[in-house]
Structure 1
Amino acid sequence: MQKKPTDELNDILENMRPDQLDSYLKDNSKYMADNKKAFYYYMKDVLDEKNIKLKDVYSFAGVSESYGSKIVTMEKHTKDRDLIIRLCLAGHFNWDETNRALKLYGMTELYAKDPRDACIIVAINNRIFDQYEIDDLLTKQGLKKITADEQ
């Protein structure tokens, strides 16, 4: 897929008049995010930057490669916000990257006023990406673990 830096598109939009929008969208359609694929492309881009393989992310997040792949490509949609957070942790996403991933997946961002989210934010900001270490932090605060309970 070809890329055009977002900054470049932002510059074009900055001085655009409404009557120019049609041609902008047509000319740049190949650079536009497809809602179904936006999450996948974003995950892939961030992981590529960090030199982390998707199959490793699935493994560290505690999901099978086939299931993880269906979630990331949105072939299957999960309502499990913790799963998306675990995928981000496995990919060593920072707070902004995690929030963007959650938002692209259609979930609420990590919220500083939520005690559980606050613990996760502190872990991420301190580069603690191990979900079991985060579980310890959460349980010490009397909060629900982030890992899926073993079936």
Structure 2
Amino acid sequence: MTASGVKASEKNTNDLMEELNDGKVPIENYIQSNSDSFINIDLSNFWKELINKSGMTKTDIINKSDFSYVYFYDVINGRKIPSRDKIIRLALALGLSLDECQTALKFCGRSQLYPRIKRDSIIIHGINRKLSIYEVSDKLISLGEEDLK
């Protein structure tokens, strides 16, 4: 499985969408014939892989994300699905790339960052430059946007 959660042998997203839009195949047949293409992500393993990849200690991540110890462990153990802002805070703390952050948002069922939204553009800027949560928050506030919650 790649960082995006897609196996190399799977159909790409555009092909899947074309099949759905075509409407010629009953949904049951579509699901059966494309079962290898669906993402079935274990959020706990997803977070643990990103944490291991970062090389940081969990204590460092907790401090950089400004999460409570309990909340952090609830997230990485799959007991809680974090809000969009909390995912972004975790991405900043882990030093994730923009693609990794977008994948985390997608896997958690949250909207991805969109550059046509001013607040999202500021966050994208921060992720790309590996800024801290506090630096991104300061930039958001100074540019008239809501702080990361």
TM-score w.r.t. the length of structure 2 is 0.71
1:102 is matched with which residue? 105
Q: Deviation at 1:85?
A: 0.8
Structure 1 stretches of 5 or more lacking a match? 26-31
Structure 2 stretches of 5 or more lacking a match? 12-28
Contact 2:91 2:101 in 1 (8 A): yes
2:144 to 139, 142, 145: 142
Q: Does 1:59 align with 2:63?
A: yes
TM-score w.r.t. the length of structure 1 is 0.70
Q: Does 1:82 align with 2:85?
A: yes
Contact 1:138 1:144 in 2 (8 A): yes
Q: 1 CA distance for matches of 2:8 and 2:103?
A: 18
Q: Does 1:71 align with 2:75?
A: yes
User: Taking every aligned residue pair, what percent have the same amino acid on both sides?
Assistant: 26
Q: 2 CA distance for matches of 1:127 and 1:77?
A: 24
Tell me the SS of whatever aligns to 1:143: coil
Contact 2:48 2:76 in 1 (8 A): no
Q: How many residues were matched structurally? A: 126
Instruction: Compute the RMSD of aligned alpha carbons.
Output: 2.7
Q: Deviation at 1:73?
A: 2.4
